[in-house]
Structure 1
Amino acid sequence: MSPKPSDPPAASKPSPAETVPSPATGGELALVATPIGNLGDLTRRAADYLQAADCIACEDSRVTLRLLQHLGLKKPLIVYHDHNAEEMRPQLMERLQRGEKMALVSDAGTPLISDPGFKLVRAAAAAGIRVTALPGPSAPIMALILSGLPSDRFLFLGFLPPRSTARRGELAEVAQVRASLILFETAPRLVDALEDLLAVLGDRPAAVARELTKMFEEVRRGPLSELAAHYREAGPPRGEIVLVVGPPAAAVPADAADLDAALGAALAKMRVKEAAEAVAAALGLPRRQVYQRALELKEGGD
């Protein structure tokens, strides 16, 4: 029963999930996104924060030093990565509790994506230290939006295991997830990874994005079978690689209007067969079905 207006408010003890620690110090941890290749992508706000920070926690001091030299800055750098995180976290926490303003950066892109930063954020939040973020470049998100694959739902897998058996096992666990899959891969393992993706997930539409934001940026789109065949013949590509794989076909039903719109745009630039192949790969539809509709549209247009 709700208390009457004249009743004093009932005292209640907050649950652990509702308890928010009050700031204990003036320290601050900021998660600062850095460029993934093009230094021009560093935001003005990020540059200003790096200038104001008392220290910078980074994955590789050599990489961060180059960024600071570009900005004309000199700052204390503290190396913090997977291999030393348990040892270094207490030292970082001590600095924050003393009131220091600390920036956390990764070698490239947004911190906490495939790095141990989340544990530092968790510890800082638990200690009542202010945590904020300065958004910016992110390779997984850039690859997703360039892929042409559904972006309303996506699952980031990071790096898959290097060995095929373990890799296929992890892929089997997410095979029915109704979302686009995003993962990192190394150039030497790319063909093996594409073949494992094909074996476990089927011939889904996919994209291989590499050297994002750099001079030789490339996004190659097509069914997994075609991508595997291409890189098997061409050899490992250079640069950093992000793979995006479309969801199961049943998860992205394309209505007639979507199909016709995609085919109309493709037919304006390509022959019927090429247009049908491109649209079938992008929408995850059977090629024969798309080719038949492309012929109908072409004949109708003529």
Structure 2
Amino acid sequence: MEIQLDCLPCFLRQVLDAARMNTKDKELQKEILMKATEIIGNVDQYTTAPEVGRFMHQLVKKYTKIQDPYQELKKRCIETAEKIYPDMKYFLYKQKDRLYWTLKISAVGNIMDAAIYGDKSVKENFIEEFDKEFKICEIDKLRKSLKNGKLLLIIGDNAGETVFDRVLVEELLHLEIIYAVRSNPIINDATIKEAYASKLHHGAKIISTGCDAPGIILDECSEEFKKIYNKADIIISKGQGNYETLSDEGRKIFFLLKAKCPVIARDIGVKVNDYVLIQK
């Protein structure tokens, strides 16, 4: 998915938010932002938004000397998600179409970072989100793939969301499941550390993609990941960053996400905040 002009101010907002999160030094914040504008000035040399995002957030690491700027946020998201995990399982227990609601639980996990800072309780936030139906839901295609397939690759997204993905993994234990995460800390995305903290290893083999961008740049991924990516019978890709980097690959990937960004919503053909399960 190509970078759009609407992405540029978003890059700057994200890097400024990250800088403010990790330093109170306004001069340092300004320096980071000015360096970020230089990257924006050369945006044509990048293919996708996550490639730009990686360099933006490397600036924060470099100037603040903090290698995992979102460490505390990720920890808090996982701890909060664990508190409502029993509620998710009980909710699922009462549903007739368990696959549909398992997918919805997994998709709703994508709001974890925003939910813990909202005015409502986290539980209230999620109950409200569960009431929203998928705008696009190609679940019949997925059912067929799950029936005929043996190897499932799930490409993870944010920390905290990983606990919601555990519900998905636990529902599909008849399959061999590989759960792939970022190779190094980037934004609030999950690495192997957060995947284990979310107990995903109880039902899936956890691997690194070998790529430290907030998406999947296949040319940079490890041979292990690329082998599994090519071999997997089913691929479920979580979140927007993975969509931006994989939606044009023609691999028939199932993208499971909430369209929080107008650029991505427009590309899929939905509205902002719509939930989507779509195969591309």
Fold conserved (TM > 0.5)?
A: no
Ranked by relative contact order (alpha carbons within 8 Å, sequence separation 6 or more), the top structure is 2
* Structure that is richer in strand per residue: 1
TM-score by length of 1: 0.24
Larger Rg: 1
